[in-house]
Structure 1
Amino acid sequence: MKAPLLVPVALALVLGGCARTGEIDATGGITAIRSACPVVGVTAGTGDITLFKTPGATDENAIDVVANITGVRSTCADAGPDIATTVNFNVEARRTDATGARDLVLPYYIAIVRGGTNVVAKRIGRVNVHFDAGQARGQVAGEATTTIARSAATLPAEVRDKLTHRRKAGDEDAAVDPLSQPDVRQAVASASFEALVGFQLTEAQLKYNATR
């Protein structure tokens, strides 16, 4: 993989992962705060790629290959000062011309998103999809890894206290959702990360996916 590249774009999560912001118990406190592991998923608009036989063509008859990212899953090691996440996925491709064997290299990326919109790092990788002669379909497994500092993914103690504070009926703050407080909401967002994968698309490919 290449070195991380900062990119000024906002990514939308379309496939969920392992983290949660919390669960409210019967007394009004939040008993399970959140996992330090990033939520893992596929970025909206980049989970599939379409290649055409003729450059610039976008009609259905000109389609050469369609590929999709599927089966996204992850393993997370969060016991040390850094949180290491390995994201595994499959690339499933279908070609319109099954004549002869063929190898197709497709670029993909993994992006680290903080607070839902801030892309802090991006790495590019490639997978090789092989089609046997006479076969229209091919599949390959892909893998990407990321590391996040535990300190960045950890809520400040005062914010954790606000979230886990037990509230009883009749208390002045019993009906107040701590996440409605701007400082708490901002702290939770700042400590929340997503590890998102997708195909590295050209501007034309992004436009095709958005308008088809």
Structure 2
Amino acid sequence: MSLRLAIAAAALALTLGACSRAGELDPAGGIRVARSACPAAGVPAYTGDVTLFDPPQSRDARAIDVTATITNLRLTCDDTAEGPEVAATVTFDVLARRRDATAPRQVVLPYFVTVMRGGNVVYSKRVSRVAIDFAAGQDRAQTSAQGSATITRSAATLPENVRAQILKKRKAGREDAAVDPMSEPGVRSAVARASFELLVGFQLTPDQLQYNATR
């Protein structure tokens, strides 16, 4: 599985989840739309942890040198602020463990911050690095990192005609009363295009990604 496919799979799950919440029936006969211009946040499958080996080409458990995991993902975003863009920041912790705790050591790991649109389109991507410092005699270490992204507000806003179609009141007995507007391809497509996800994970090599996916 490629890193792009892993990201797309996780993002699609987030998008479909958002769509189901947006499709709740309103007591007045329309469909309740509770959505935000802020992105959902998550860690794509197989990218939330990394394993370093020594020697690098080995995959023996006895050769595991350092392991690290992304956890405590937190999103900060305010879609009520004025302006043409919506700013989002994600913070997270990195927990690491090493085999040899004899001397102090710093391990630097690359990670990505990707914005996905509609579950399968990369809107933006940035690669950064996080440094983990092990003290002498300590086999565990922890640090924090963050990433940020901006999304064009108009891109994350449903067109008025789509909103009107979703919010349209439906009277019992009429032909359209039993039709969920989210089942219509045009509406689902518009909701998907206006849905964004802010995804964070380790920037893995193909071998590292394969190891995570098959272990």
| TM-score between the two structures when normalised by the length of structure 2 | 0.89
**Amino acid corresponding to residue 106 of structure 1 in structure 2:** L
The 8 Å contact of residues 82 and 148 in structure 1, kept in 2 or not, is answered as yes
Distance 1:132 1:16, change over 3 A: farther
The 8 Å contact of residues 14 and 197 in structure 2, kept in 1 or not, is answered as no
Counterpart of 2:94 (choices 71, 75, 91) is 91
Q: What is the Cα deviation at residue 25 of structure 1?
A: 2.2
Match of 1:117 in 2: 120
Match of 1:4 in 2: none
| Secondary structure in 2 matching 1:133 | coil
Identity of aligned residues (%): 55
Cα distance between partner residues in 2 of 1:186 and 1:90: 35
The gaps in structure 2 that reach 5 residues or longer are none
| Secondary structure in 1 matching 2:171 | coil
Match of 1:72 in 2: 73
More helix by share: 2
**2:33 matched to 1:36?**
no
**2:23 matched to 1:25?**
no
Match of 1:180 in 2: 183
Match of 1:45 in 2: 46
**Amino acid corresponding to residue 9 of structure 1 in structure 2:** R
**Amino acid corresponding to residue 91 of structure 1 in structure 2:** V
Q: Deviations over 1:77-118 (max 9, x none)?
A: 322210100000011101111111111101000011010011
Q: What is the Cα deviation at residue 8 of structure 1?
A: 9.1
Cα distance between partner residues in 2 of 1:16 and 1:194: 7
The gaps in structure 1 that reach 5 residues or longer are 1-6
Q: Deviations over 1:43-78 (max 9, x none)?
A: 111110000010211111110011000000111132
Cα distance between partner residues in 1 of 2:157 and 2:112: 25
The 8 Å contact of residues 93 and 139 in structure 1, kept in 2 or not, is answered as yes
The 8 Å contact of residues 3 and 209 in structure 2, kept in 1 or not, is answered as no
Q: Which runs of 4+ in 1 moved over 3 A?
A: 14-17
Distance 1:132 1:70, change over 3 A: same
Aligned CA-pair RMSD: 2.0
The 8 Å contact of residues 112 and 128 in structure 2, kept in 1 or not, is answered as yes
Q: Which moved more, 1:178-187 or 1:28-37?
A: 28-37
Q: What is the Cα deviation at residue 24 of structure 1?
A: 2.3
Q: Number of aligned pairs?
A: 205
Distance 1:8 1:46, change over 3 A: closer
Q: What is the Cα deviation at residue 201 of structure 1?
A: 0.4
The 8 Å contact of residues 8 and 119 in structure 1, kept in 2 or not, is answered as no
Q: Deviations over 1:2-41 (max 9, x none)?
A: xxxxx99241328969x94313223442223311100111
